[in-house]
Structure 1
Amino acid sequence: MTEHTFSEAEYDAVTDAAAHWCMRLHAIDCTAEERQAFEQWRDAHPLHAFEYEAMLEIWDVAGDLPRPESATTLLPGKSSTSWRTFGITAAVCALALPLAAYTGWNLGWLPNAYQHFETTDNVRQVTLSDGSQVELNLGSELTFRNYKDERRVTLKKGEAFFSVSHDMKHPFIVRAAEGRIRVTGTQFNVWLYEDQVRVNLIEGSVLVTSNDALDGDGLRLGPSMQARFRHGDYMPQISETYANDSSLAWRSGKLVLDDLPLSDALPLINRYLAKPVMVADNSTASIRLGGVYNIKEINNLVTNLPKVLPVYLTRNENGNPVLNSIPKQAPKS
């Protein structure tokens, strides 16, 4: 059977469709029916999936283009959509035309390198185009863009350990949730779950801010220091890590829980699960859990919790496992 060869017009139509789906799937009002239609379109031909992945890269780059005033003044009430449409159009043009791309690079608008990495069931080590090494935990995703004035990483989910190549004139910026970590060359770990972020510094120094919109470069961490923040925090919480800190045990395939209350342990557990575990009440949240677990067998940990803790499992209306504390029996009189 002869494979169909796309004409130029057909190829352009696929690219247009990929751009349409990229914008619709990122829209707040995107419906379940539209998502299903997209999946059918994507799976209809390998070229559809290829073009959509390429459009996602352009989408990421478009978000960093300088925002024109016309995006908010010409179409009031539609600034987000109109700006993203403008950004995609500008990025497509700039990436397609060598002169435009060269101008965008010199102005610091467009990167000269873009990389996207994602892990599912295995830890993965990757090399960025600047020579920096990154180790990704299970279920992690990040992008790297190399601009004229800085190197920029966005950790979209999960956890990553960075060994950054030294370059004083070309700082390395990691964005996680609303925060920012700024370095020139060092080793550090960034953990992201929902809106919670934890940064552990191993070597060198980093500047951490909990809100990328704030002025200044943030608070400085030295070796064996940790910063924590979540959505809405004005400043990160800074603390020292002890000698046997286990936050990097994932690099050896382990999750170490050091007698933590479930309120602190569950975010570390849930990042490995498709359906996060909930607690029924504050009493359950205060129950403590310890032990060393294989990060590939966290599902087994959840089902075995009733065997090691005074809890039982139920499920809520969304199908999430819920831990409930077993009431203590009153002493017999």
Structure 2
Amino acid sequence: MTRQASSPAASDSLIDEAAYWCMRLHAEDCTDEERAAFERWVQSDPAHAREYQAMLDIWQVSEHLPRQAMPTDGLPPPPQAPSRRRLRRPAMAVAAALLLSLSGLLGWQQGWLPNDIQRYHAGENLREATLPDGSRVQLNLGTTLWFSNFRDRRSVTLSEGEAFFEVQHDGSHPFVVYAGKGSVTVTGTQFNVWKYEEQVVVTLTEGSVKVRSDAQEVDQVAYLSPGMQARYGSKDEMPHISAAKAGSLAWREGKLVLDDLTLAEALPLINRYLDKPVLLADQATAGIRIGGIYDTRNVGQLVQALPKVLPVYLSQNADGNTVINGNEQLF
């Protein structure tokens, strides 16, 4: 979807309501009653659903807007917002979201706001898309990303999933991908970004990229050359550099390659395709190794078949997660 810097079709009150519900649904203390009230509101009018989706798109990218330059005076307060609310994201993200709805040319000229936001999603099928700047992207199953066009840069927010980018060269407008607690900056190149929970892996196939981990507010940068990978998590102050793993890009052909990995290493790759994550019973089970090439559409069948190829058995916990248990009698 496309979201312009201002929304003349939507009334100020509707923008306020959409912003309010976006804040409340992201609040840690949002109640079941509030969620039910939101469902009634969003289903009562198609315009409500459209404006909420537009506000949600803005919310996803607002944390990457420049804080030091963002004016906040004059923002309308959310309607009937309770006074003591704990939000998962800073209040500035809300201000940014509202500004992006209400501001126009000034925000674009100052580099505060994008003049366009587009959302891309791949559900049960791989998807290829051309971004507004001419760059191409391929999205893995279950992947969502947002593209924002700023005056001085091109910005992508990868919330979850995996994408392969072929970036159109533009030396004056860097292309920045935000994923987890870090970012990838290029001017024109080809690379892959995989994100699961707080783990991020960047694989470079052509050109060069700058990978930054900003965990714990520490700015650490690593530079990749083709055939290299950078990995970082929520607590890593510096990206970890290594040679690219075999099969890192096999997903583009619908394949999951597990190249003699421990189950602890393999599960994030497997869980990426499941509705409920598979768990490990203990450290001994985590060390069992697995290999093979599998269809990304049938990862659930792979899990159910594990006892046939590994010394393990499967159980379920109280939350309905499949648990892999090492079968000591088979060691």
Return the TM-score normalized by structure 2. 0.86
1:1-333 aligned within 5 A: 13-60=13-60, 62-63=62-63, 64=65, 66=67, 82-94=91-103, 101-211=104-214, 213-215=217-219, 218-241=221-244, 245-328=246-329
Q: 1:10 to 1:189 in 2, by over 3 A?
A: closer
- 1:153-184 deviation per Cα after TM superposition (whole angstroms, max 9, x unaligned): 11100000000000111111111100111101
Q: 1:55 to 1:77 in 2, by over 3 A?
A: closer
Contact kept, 8 Å, 2:22 with 2:55, in 1: the verdict is yes
For structure 2, which runs of at least 5 residues remain unmatched after alignment?
A: 1-7, 74-82
Give secondary structure in 1 for the equivalent of 2:169.
coil
Give secondary structure in 2 for the equivalent of 1:328.
helix
Farther off after superposition, 246-255 or 34-43: 34-43
Which structure is richer in relative contact order (CA contacts within 8 A, separation 6 or more)?
A: 2
Give the deviation of 1:11 after TM superposition. 6.0
Contact kept, 8 Å, 1:125 with 1:133, in 2: the verdict is yes
Letter paired with 2:118:
Q
Contact kept, 8 Å, 2:122 with 2:144, in 1: the verdict is yes
Counterpart Cα distance in 2 of 1:125 and 1:113: 20
For structure 1, which runs of at least 5 residues remain unmatched after alignment?
A: 1-7, 95-100
Counterpart Cα distance in 2 of 1:260 and 1:129: 39
Q: Which residue of 1 aligns with 2:79?
A: none
Identity %: 51
Give the deviation of 1:38 after TM superposition. 1.9
Which protein has the larger Cα radius of gyration, Structure 1 or Structure 2?
1
Q: 1:109 to 1:259 in 2, by over 3 A?
A: same
Counterpart Cα distance in 1 of 2:183 and 2:264: 25
Q: 1:62 to 1:248 in 2, by over 3 A?
A: closer
Give secondary structure in 1 for the equivalent of 2:329.
coil
- 1:225-269 deviation per Cα after TM superposition (whole angstroms, max 9, x unaligned): 111111111111111236xx2110000001011111100011000
Give secondary structure in 1 for the equivalent of 2:201.
strand
Q: 1:307 to 1:130 in 2, by over 3 A?
A: same
Contact kept, 8 Å, 2:152 with 2:173, in 1: the verdict is yes
Contact kept, 8 Å, 2:254 with 2:296, in 1: the verdict is yes
- 1:276-308 deviation per Cα after TM superposition (whole angstroms, max 9, x unaligned): 000000111111111111101111111111121
Letter paired with 2:114:
P
- 1:127-171 deviation per Cα after TM superposition (whole angstroms, max 9, x unaligned): 111010010000111111111111111110000000000011111
Counterpart Cα distance in 1 of 2:60 and 2:197: 20
Give the deviation of 1:41 after TM superposition. 2.7
Q: RMSD across aligned C-alpha pairs, in angstroms?
A: 2.6
Contact kept, 8 Å, 2:59 with 2:94, in 1: the verdict is no
Contact kept, 8 Å, 2:213 with 2:219, in 1: the verdict is no
Counterpart Cα distance in 2 of 1:125 and 1:9: 30
Q: 1:220 to 1:82 in 2, by over 3 A?
A: closer
Contact kept, 8 Å, 2:261 with 2:289, in 1: the verdict is yes
Give secondary structure in 2 for the equivalent of 1:49.
helix
